[in-house]
Amino acid sequence: MATQTESPAVRPKFGLGVAILAVSTSAILINWSRAPAVVQALYRVLFTTLLLAPVAVRRHADAFRSFSARSYLRLSVPGVFLAVHFALWFESLDWTSVAASVTLVQSQPLFVAAGAALLLDERFSRRMLAGAAVALVGTVTLSVGDLLGGPVLGARPLYGNALALVSAVALAGYVLAGRSFRQRLPVVPYVTVVYAVCAAVLFAVAVTNGLPLLAYPLREWLLFAGMAVGPGILGHTVLNWSLGHLESGVVSVTLLAEPVASAILAFLLLNEVIGPTTAVGGAVVLAGIYVAASDR
């Protein structure tokens, strides 16, 4: 998506702040739901797509008509990566703490940089390497309490942490796969197609695993809708919009506030008390990401 020249109706930094608060509620809503992780992810993305589709068709019909079959095929790649990210991350929150899971997911800028170096011939700077090394130390520290058998949150925190880390790799794949499209397409038609592909993949996974799709109480449907409106529309979609008005480095560094806000909400709403190794390790991970993401 190219940087826009005309002034937006909403100040980009205000929109970015709203988006950070919105995405920070995601882990809380996931924890409140009792539906399988893949089903939660499916309905979050599906409802987000249904909310965006009318706007996309009405305002960007020409963009859809200009897409070739090859373009739609290429757009499916970031959609598949996004589905993998959601499925793994939602599952990770069943096994580890909100603070650990969200912090590890936010390591995705490091994997974006690694992928850009391997696939796009972009070089690592010393600052980027230093940031990656610091984040790696933080990741190990974050799990030390689990390895030593200390007090931890979650039934299988090491497993949950691993899922969150792999989901960060998938999220990086989503960012890299969609980089060229986001430079050339308006945000709404781009995310509508990508979300639709993501929903289709998650639907296939749910059906293949025989997961129930409809037998849920009203409370679950309200949570699904909340995931779509909050983290989906006000969160990720506004973040994509903000990239058209702010430097990517500003957005990346600001995203480091998400684990902090999520941890605070988890303390207030889920009674999660963060242990010392999780707190120290998480802070070190965020410091490493900051060093790497602010390499400008």
- Does an H or E element contain 52, and which? helix 37-59
CA distances from 185 to 18, 155, 282 (A): 23, 43, 35
User: What is the chain's alpha carbon radius of gyration, rounded to the nearest angstrom?
Assistant: 19
* Cβ count within 10 A of residue 28: 22
Nearest Cα to 167, choosing from 125, 111, 209, 231? Answer: 111
DSSP symbols for 179-198: HHHHHHS-HHHHHHHHHHHH
Per-residue model confidence as pLDDT tens for the chain (296 residues): 344 445 666 677 788 888 889 999 999 999 999 999 999 999 999 999 999 888 888 887 777 777 777 777 888 898 999 999 999 999 999 988 888 888 888 888 778 777 777 776 666 677 777 877 787 787 777 666 555 544 455 568 889 889 999 999 998 888 888 776 766 677 788 888 889 999 999 999 999 999 999 989 999 999 999 999 999 899 887 887 776 677 665 676 677 788 888 888 888 898 887 777 777 877 887 788 777 766 65
Check residue 41 and give its pLDDT: 96
